[in-house]
A = this chain, B = another copy of it.
Amino acid sequence: EIVAAVEAFFAGTDRPLAGRRALVTSGPTYEPIDPVRYIANRSSGKQGHAIAAALARLGAHVTLVSGPTREPTPPGVTLVPIETAVEMLAACRAALPADVAVCAAAVADWRVAEAAGQKVKKTGGAPPTLSLIENPDILATLSAAGPDRPRLVVGFAAETENVVAHATEKRRRKGCDWILANDVAPETGTFGGDANTIHLIDAAGVEHWPTSTKLAVAERLARRIDAYFGEGKA
């Protein structure tokens, strides 16, 4: 009975993204300071993993490039585990061409200029100063014109203030097609939590989604991606 249900599911007609290739990034990146210490972003990977799962359920061939998370790899999704932003960019490039890229990872903007090969010792003197250098911008790189640009590039903007204004500016700066903006101020409980309030920003303006679970956000996004390709086919 279960086998039959699974077979029916995978053979089902509701797989409109069959034949489409999707690239999804998820989780944090870890940027090493030395072999023991690192800088990270708070990201549970729940939203990115849920998007990968939703796209796979609609039939897409999904590559999920993810930093360290507690989330299980969704069924039918190919996981490429990475730690740093530099590794994530290389894995994303290797996953191209793709029809759609969804950048849900919380990529560290900066890494330590020179990670130490040995553990940095407390010397009793002044604490070290960490010199940071900018990481590659994965969303902007994927959005840059070129033969390999996915037809639809979707980014996230985690903001703590002026959410829509910051995200609208981010969309313009990055060159992506859609930005899903959310408010991650500590009092919202978005980080590590299950709920998310999304504002979708595209060329046409802003669409406010009702607060819902990260699973429902993923499902809605996957359906909207499907609709986008459906319109394009017409």
Residues of A within 8 A of B (CB): 33, 35-42, 70, 106, 108-110, 118-119, 122, 127-134, 158-161, 184-186
Contact = CB atoms under 8 A, between A and B. Distances in A.
Most buried by B among A127, A131, A184, A186: A127
Nearest to A158: B36
Nearest to A112: B130
A128 B110 contact: yes
A160 B35 contact: yes
A184 B36 CA distance: 8
Contact of A160 (B108, B118, B122, B131): B118
Contact of A37 (B108, B118, B129, B161): B108
10 contacts: A36-B42, A36-B158, A37-B42, A40-B40, A118-B160, A119-B184, A122-B134, A127-B134, A129-B130, A129-B131
Contacts of A127: 109-110, 131-134
A41 B35 contact: no
B35 A38 contact: no
Contacts of A119: 158-161, 184
Given A37-B108, A110-B128, A130-B132, 12 more contacts: A35-B160, A35-B185, A36-B41, A109-B127, A119-B159, A119-B160, A119-B184, A127-B131, A127-B132, A127-B133, A128-B132, A129-B129
